[in-house]
Chains A and B, each alone.
Chain A
Amino acid sequence: MNPRMTRDELLRRGAGGVVFLSLPSLLAACGGGDDGGESSDELKDVLNFSNWELYIDTASTRKAAGLTGPTTLEQFTQESGIKVNYYEDINGNPEYFATVQGRLRQGQGIGRDIIVVTDNDRYLGDYITNEWALKLDKSLIPNISNLIDAQATPPFDPNREYTLPWFSGMDGIAWNEDVTGPVTSVKQLLEDPDLKGKVGVWGQMGDTLGLIMLSNGDDPAKVTDESFDRALETLKTAVDSGQIRKFYGNDYAQPLSKGDLAASMAWSGDIVNLQNPKLKWVVPDDGGIIWTDNMLIPLGGSVSTASTYMNFVYEPEIAAELALGANYISSVKGVKEVAEKLNPNAVENTLVFPTEEMLAQMHQNDPAMLSNPDYIKRWLQVKGT
């Protein structure tokens, strides 16, 4: 799941979800056939791009970051002649997945050439294993050589055949200085009696159990039944004792700012965007989790058009403007050097340009854990559902 924007992703899940349990398939059955499932290799003059809110440079964020000139989307259109229909319509991985899966299941397109999906939830794997994603045309993406090594072989797409990173962010711990002293380990977060009832954790399995596994000395990238049981037991103890106040989506940020929460598991990007000097964020002593939002081409998308755009954003000059304009971590080589020339102050923010030392403490989730139905069921039971 992702840190930006939504006040509370639970809300939106509800809106899309329960009432129309069976509607997606009905709508899919009624849908027209004009965007069929076949990939088209023709370069189109329009690119339909679905992304999260506040996740790209705009005129105002460029100004704030000290950038001049047109936005990267405008530059792309100038350079390629391809107009971009940019939709900020992804508010959560589960909701978006629920919305589009009906059509994809029928082999139909969803009217998009690129969508952006996070790797710390099961859905990215679901798109790929169900063959709902189309292969990139790497001949059109020579700039793929600028992809950083750490991102070259992710477990869900070992050869980067279907996906390329958009931005990354870090899972860590934040605390409110008005309420408590530094909280730097997951163990302290879940056990310190001074924090009782004032601790937040995420409602997403990958993030929360990932951090707990690191604290237990287990590897979140290679989960076993034993390490899963241990992590779930640690969490359950903290829930039962009343240490944990609640499971949060993106909505932990407000109670943390107000002091209802003393400390919480928190996303780096949220803390940057809150700009509240009382809130401190650290990579936990035992390590953090790095998640990445990935671009992929859903069924029905134009591979050539999408690949052309991906090549464009993997130019270090463009990638630097994107990172400065959105305040998230880029996966493009050399982006920090370019950004430093554009705005020397901005690159000192280690939440956007993390140090080597921070990155060395970062781990990834095991995709096999994220899609294991038994694990999901037991995780939901600890959440009360």
Chain B
Amino acid sequence: MGGFFHRHRGATPYLLLAPGILWLAIFFLIPLGFLGYQSLQSGFFPDFQFTWEFSNFSNGIRDYREQLVRSFVYAGIATIACLVLAYPLVYWIAFRAGPWRNLFLLFIVAPFFVTYLVRTLAWLNILADQGPVVGLLRDLHVLDSDGRLLATTFAVISGITYNFFPFMALPLYVSLEQIDPRLLEAAKDLYASPTKAFLRVTLPLSAPGIVAGTLLTFIPATGDFINAALLGTPNQAMIGNVIQAKFLESLDYPGAASLSFVLMGLILVALLVYAKIVGSERLTG
């Protein structure tokens, strides 16, 4: 074997890559090809015909613009909320928690030990009209006596924020934890105020974590449908709910496939704009 690698040294990287490429080919590229093929079909279940039906795409965008826009808005708000909530928390863990760091990290990851659905179902109880949160808010007159949290936009965005929080927190932690504290001491020695030291040293050095965290949160949140399905109403339906209904209820497979591609394309565009703004080298860390 050693002799083989010696004689074909140039092939080694390809051999090492082969399992990963094979995996991607079988479980990503081939299904994606099927999906693309299906997105250009027409007709009714089960007699779909391949007819280069590009109107599936334009019809999808026309009919479901509202849900598409809503998905990006909800995902955007949830991503910002995750960042605002996660940054101080993770900063504290990285710089102040000392020996307790791992324990606090465990608390952040702990919800992942429970399945996504069960976590979201738990919110049905937490936010229920007769539940503790609504009761408290009514007593404080934040909500009027008929007000509710469940089945509102607030509930859906909160659910997304909660469910994707660790995707933001963990990359942030990794980038903050790597910062050499001596750099902050040096900033202090050079008469930087704590605010200035944060803005000039900590924040730029944690930028790769912010970028990774926002991408890991925003991309799956855009296609999410569980939170809207469980915590929302028809007025909170996201594009994931539309695709799901097309696939399961109306058996409109070409419509579902083309909308999936539209979503993928829009996310890619958003990604390119984001890369342009933050600089592409930060996207790759």
Contact = CB atoms under 8 A, between A and B. Distances in A.
Interface of A: 7-8, 10-11, 13-15, 17-18, 20-23, 25-26, 94-95, 98, 101, 105, 122, 126, 130, 197, 239, 244-247, 254-255, 258-260, 373, 376-377, 380, 382-385
Q: What are the nearest 3 A-B pairs in CB distance? A: A384-B234, A22-B34, A384-B237
Contacts of B230: 8, 10-11
A385 B148 contact: no
Given A22-B34, A95-B248, A14 B67 contact: no
Contacts of A94: 248-249
A14 B236 contact: no
B13 interface: no
A17 B121 contact: no
Contacts of B229: 8, 10-11, 14
Given A7-B121, A197-B148, A259-B129, A14 B38 contact: no
A257 to B, nearest CB: 10
Contact of A245 (B121, B233, B249): B233
A101 B248 CA distance: 11
Contacts of B151: 245-246
22 contacts: A8-B229, A13-B248, A14-B225, A17-B244, A21-B247, A21-B253, A22-B38, A94-B248, A98-B247, A101-B46, A245-B151, A246-B151, A247-B234, A259-B129, A260-B148, A373-B250, A373-B252, A380-B250, A384-B233, A385-B67, A385-B244, A385-B246
Given A22-B34, A246-B234, A380-B250, 13 more contacts: A10-B229, A11-B229, A14-B225, A17-B248, A21-B31, A21-B38, A22-B35, A126-B251, A259-B129, A376-B249, A383-B234, A383-B245, A384-B233
Interface string B115-130: 0010001001000111
A26 B30 contact: yes
**Which of A17, A244, A246, A384 counts the most chain B CB atoms within 10 A?**
A384
**Interface of A, helix, strand, loop or mixed by DSSP:** helix
Contacts of B236: 384
Contacts of A98: 247-248
A5 to B, nearest CB: 15
A27 to B, nearest CB: 11
B31 A23 contact: yes
Contacts of A244: 233
B55 interface: no
A25 B34 contact: yes
Interface in B38-92: 38, 44-46, 67
Interface string B220-254: 00000110011011111100111111111111110
A385 B260 contact: no
A383 B250 CA distance: 13
Q: How large is the interface on B (under 10, 10 to 19, 20 to 34, 35 or more residues)?
A: 35 or more
A242 to B, nearest CB: 9
A377 B250 contact: yes
Contacts of B46: 101, 105, 126, 130
A54 B255 CA distance: 35
B93 interface: no
Contacts of A26: 30-31, 34
Contacts of B252: 373, 377
A179 B248 CA distance: 35
B168 interface: no
Contacts of A7: 121
Contact of A373 (B31, B44, B225, B233): B44
Nearest to B247: A17
Nearest to B241: A385
Contacts of B248: 13, 17, 94-95, 98
A18 B241 CA distance: 9
Contacts of B226: 11, 14
Nearest to A9: B248
A380 B64 CA distance: 12
A11 B44 contact: no
Nearest to A15: B117
A22 B225 CA distance: 19
A68 B80 CA distance: 62
Contacts of A385: 67, 234, 237, 241-242, 244-246
A18 B234 contact: no
Nearest to B148: A197
B37 to A, nearest CB: 8
B234 A239 contact: yes
A23 B27 CA distance: 9
B257 interface: yes
**Which of B34, B117, B236, B245 counts the most chain A CB atoms within 10 A?**
B245
Given A101-B46, A377-B250, A383-B245, A21 B234 contact: no
A63 B44 CA distance: 48
B22 to A, nearest CB: 15
Contacts of A376: 249-250
Given A13-B244, A383-B245, A18 B31 contact: no
Contact of B130 (A17, A105, A259): A259
A292 B46 CA distance: 24
B146 interface: yes
A377 B246 CA distance: 9
**Which of B130, B151, B248 counts the most chain A CB atoms within 10 A?**
B248
**Which of A11, A13, A14, A20 counts the most chain B CB atoms within 10 A?**
A14
B124 A254 contact: yes
B128 A260 contact: yes
Contact of A21 (B117, B241, B242, B260): B260
B237 to A, nearest CB: 3
A380 B243 CA distance: 11
